[in-house]
């Protein structure tokens, strides 16, 4: 039960002392965020991992985030993930091998244009390494616009992977949406090279299953039922949803919007349901509504990090046993590190 778990976690942490840091993403369950040393969005977590000198980084999030932590931390630090099942489906929508093939098609279709690949943090280390090799970088939802600007200073067009919605929303933010086109890697033969010939942004066909569920009807319904409500959504939502909302931002930007609200305000939040529930607990003076009511869902990947696994992981580390170690190969670590470093310097 929870008391027993609390005692066991406390005992393991006491034994480990400063040797361990527990990082938790904003979408983790209550039992995890209450026990993490730091809770934040993908960008903040990668910064915290980089700054930490703890021997063990227990990463309560998904595999691509833990991989990035391994890339960023020193070689004598070990990154562990409480559940190896925690894999973001969107990150799997742009496999490095498949991107290699698409890159060959794209660069052949546009021989005179310098394309700079930019990958969302939600991708695996081999794709981040590919981006570094091709002169590109990584971004998160909190700095995608700056990453696009960086890339467009160095080349003629951005290939953005894997989230087409974040890519489109970022192009809008920069006022270049008219020249953002989709490239379907699953059917390159149907692609008209003329359509991408003078594009500023080429969008990969990837998306988040949690955020694609939100629709303009959800925004309209909440506004009809709560005329004073403000709407904040994650930029992984479709373009029209972001346009209908009052604000869009990373999971921590969503947190900040509610934290900064005046008592009595109502905020409808379009993102993963655990964060919506945390916001309700953290800010009882604000009315926090899930944007799609009962239809809002959790992220199946994030949910895999069960508090019992965290207990087990800490006890194993305290006993000197390293489990579920996330280790990127040295060459990928070097290259992905370049792509992540370019982001951290933006």
- Which residues of this chain interact with ligand 13P, rule CB under 6 A? 26, 41-43, 122, 140-141, 208, 234, 236, 250-251
CB of 324 to ligand 13P, least distance (A): 20
Q: Find all residues with CB under 8 Å of 165, minimum gap 6, and list them.
A: 207, 208, 211, 212, 235, 236, 237, 238, 239
Chain residues binding ligand SF4 by CB under 6 A are: 62, 88-90, 122, 208-210, 236, 272, 299, 301-302
CB 274 within 8 A of CB 298: yes
Q: Look at residue 251 and give the partner it binds from ligand SF4, ligand 13P, none, a contact being a CB closer than 5 to 8 Å depending on partner kind.
A: ligand 13P
Q: Look at residue 301 and give the partner it binds from ligand 13P, ligand SF4, none, a contact being a CB closer than 5 to 8 Å depending on partner kind.
A: ligand SF4
- By beta-carbon proximity to ligand SF4, the closer residue of 43 and 196 is 43
> In angstroms, what is the C-alpha Rg of the chain?
21
Phi, psi of 266 (to 5 degrees): -115, 130
CB count within 10 Å of CB 238 equals 20
SS3 sequence of 23-91 = EEECCCCHHHHCCCCEEECHHHHHHHHHHCCCCEEEEECCHHHHHHHHHHCCCCCEEECCCCCCCCCCH
Q: Look at residue 126 and give the partner it binds from ligand SF4, ligand 13P, none, a contact being a CB closer than 5 to 8 Å depending on partner kind.
A: none
- By beta-carbon proximity to ligand 13P, the closer residue of 42 and 170 is 42
Closest CA to 64 of 128, 117, 116: 128
Q: Look at residue 28 and give the partner it binds from ligand 13P, ligand SF4, none, a contact being a CB closer than 5 to 8 Å depending on partner kind.
A: none
CB of 166 to ligand 13P, least distance (A): 9
Q: Look at residue 140 and give the partner it binds from ligand 13P, ligand SF4, none, a contact being a CB closer than 5 to 8 Å depending on partner kind.
A: ligand 13P
- By beta-carbon proximity to ligand SF4, the closer residue of 20 and 32 is 32
Q: What gap in Å lies between CA 343 and CA 50, rounded to an integer?
A: 13
CB of 251 to ligand 13P, least distance (A): 4
Q: Look at residue 41 and give the partner it binds from ligand SF4, ligand 13P, none, a contact being a CB closer than 5 to 8 Å depending on partner kind.
A: ligand 13P
CB of 208 to ligand 13P, least distance (A): 5
∠246-251-253 over CA atoms, to 5°?
55
Phi, psi of 192 (to 5 degrees): -90, 110
- By beta-carbon proximity to ligand 13P, the closer residue of 45 and 158 is 45
Q: What gap in Å lies between CA 344 and CA 346, rounded to an integer?
A: 6
- By beta-carbon proximity to ligand 13P, the closer residue of 86 and 208 is 208
CB of 299 to ligand SF4, least distance (A): 3
Q: Look at residue 326 and give the partner it binds from ligand SF4, ligand 13P, none, a contact being a CB closer than 5 to 8 Å depending on partner kind.
A: none
- Cα atoms in the 13 Å half-sphere on the side-chain side of 149: 9
- By beta-carbon proximity to ligand 13P, the closer residue of 123 and 191 is 123
Q: What gap in Å lies between CA 139 and CA 68, rounded to an integer?
A: 12
């Amino acid at each position: 039960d929870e008391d027993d778990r609390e005692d066991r976690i406390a005992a393991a942490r006491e034994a480990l002392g400063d040797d361990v840091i527990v990082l938790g993403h904003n979408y983790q369950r209550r039992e995890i965020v209450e026990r993490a040393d730091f809770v934040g969005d993908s960008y903040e977590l990668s910064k915290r991992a980089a700054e930490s000198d703890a021997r063990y980084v227990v990463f309560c999030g998904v595999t691509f985030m833990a991989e990035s932590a391994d890339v960023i931390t020193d070689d004598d630090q070990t990154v562990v993930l409480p559940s190896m099942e925690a894999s973001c489906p969107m990150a799997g929508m742009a496999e490095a091998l498949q991107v290699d093939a698409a890159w060959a098609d794209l660069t052949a279709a546009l021989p005179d244009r310098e394309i700079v690949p930019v990958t969302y943090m939600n991708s695996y280390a081999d794709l981040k390494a590919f981006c570094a090799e091709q002169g590109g970088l990584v971004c998160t939802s909190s700095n995608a616009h700056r990453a696009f600007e960086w890339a467009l200073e160095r080349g003629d067009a951005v290939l953005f992977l894997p989230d087409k919605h974040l890519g489109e929303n970022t192009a809008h933010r920069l006022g270049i949406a008219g020249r953002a086109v989709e490239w379907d890697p699953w059917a390159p033969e149907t692609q008209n090279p003329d359509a991408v010939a003078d594009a500023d942004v080429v969008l990969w066909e990837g998306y988040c299953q949690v955020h694609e569920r939100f629709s303009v009807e959800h925004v309209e319904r909440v506004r009809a039922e709560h005329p004073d409500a403000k709407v904040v959504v994650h930029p992984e939502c479709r373009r029209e949803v972001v346009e209908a909302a009052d604000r869009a931002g990373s999971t921590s930007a969503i947190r900040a919007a509610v934290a900064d609200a005046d008592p009595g305000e109502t905020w409808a939040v379009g993102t993963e349901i655990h964060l919506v529930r945390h916001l309700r607990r953290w800010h009882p003076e604000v009315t926090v509504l899930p944007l799609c009511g009962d239809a809002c869902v959790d992220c199946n990947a994030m949910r895999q990090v069960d508090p019992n696994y965290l207990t087990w992981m800490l006890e194993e580390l305290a006993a000197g046993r390293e489990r579920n170690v996330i280790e990127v190969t040295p060459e990928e670590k070097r290259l992905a590190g370049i792509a992540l470093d370019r982001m951290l310097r933006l």
